[in-house]
Chain A
């Protein structure tokens, strides 16, 4: 099983619909992140959480919300999806206690808003 699992892998939704992307991890990491990837723009941070009671906005949080339901689960919601939210979304985890600052990424969710 993957260390960081994202569901669904692919999703097509209509403009105005609410959609939730889910992320779960088995690494025991305390920190979790949601990134968005668009062609030519690299990965941009949407939201991040350093523990269960901590939620922080990233550089492009408008139109998104998150919930950290447990240490292992971090979900991203689009309250009213719009076409320019069509992108590849990645969840990632990290653990400061390891002294290693690299992230472990999930395989991504490809979201298309029509």
Chain B
């Protein structure tokens, strides 16, 4: 079946280092991808998105890379800070008409002081 998943359930990174969170998807028809951050006790919060016709998109301290050949998505966080500790989800939309997001299971990022 079609799915959006993550390679690792947990990731620990030293404060100040860069973090890379990976996501694999199986549907080659996926049109749009979003990364969300969920802090403890809160709802998911939008970080950055990318359309399938792009390879890279940058935001403030974050970069999303899309490799359609291997159906892989990554989120890079530069100079990680304690506030980056959270669960990160990738999500996809297949077909802009329905706009239902399908979420992966999440990666818990822990920042080591």
Interfacial residues, chain A to chain B (CB-CB below 8 A):
4, 31, 33, 35, 40-45, 48, 58, 90, 92, 94, 96, 100-108
Please list 12 pairs of residues, one from A and one from B, whose beta carbons are closer than 8 Å in the complex, sorted by A's number. Answer: A4-B43, A45-B101, A48-B100, A101-B34, A101-B101, A102-B34, A104-B46, A105-B43, A105-B44, A107-B43, A108-B42, A108-B43
Q: Which residues of B contact A (CB under 8 A)?
A: 9, 32, 34, 41-46, 49, 89, 93, 96, 99-106
Chain A residue numbers with a CB within 8 Å of B43 are: 4, 90, 92, 105-108
Min distance, Cβ A98 to any Cβ of chain B, angstroms: 12
Choice from B46, B100, B103 contacting A42 with Cβ under 8 Å? B103
Knowing A102-B49, A105-B45, A106-B43, say if A31 contacts B99 (CB, 8 Å).
yes
Name B99's contact: one of A35, A43, A96, A106 (CB within 8 Å): A96
Considering residues A35, A94, A105, which has the most beta carbons from chain B within 10 angstroms of its beta carbon?
A105
With A41-B105, A43-B89, A96-B99 given, is the CB distance from A101 to B44 under 8 Å? no
A60 to chain B minimum Cβ distance, whole angstroms, is 13
Q: Are A42 and B104 in contact (CB under 8 A)?
A: yes
Contacts of A43 in B (CB 8 A): 44, 89, 103
B100 CB, min distance to chain A CBs, angstroms:
6
**Judging by beta carbons under 8 Å apart, are B99 and A101 in contact?**
yes
Which residues from chain A contact B89 at a C-beta distance below 8 Å? 42-43
Contact flag A101-B32 (CB < 8 Å), given A106-B43, A108-B42: yes
Compute how far the CA of A103 lies from the CA of B103 in the bound complex, rounded to whole angstroms: 12
| B45 partner residues in chain A, CB cutoff 8 A | 105
A4 contact set on B, CB distance < 8 A: 43
User: CB within 8 A of B42: which of A48, A92, A104, A107?
Assistant: A107
**Cα–Cα distance between A103 and B44 once the two chains are bound (Å):** 9
CA distance A96 to B34 in the complex (A): 15
Question: A45 — nearest CB in chain B belongs to which residue?
Answer: B100
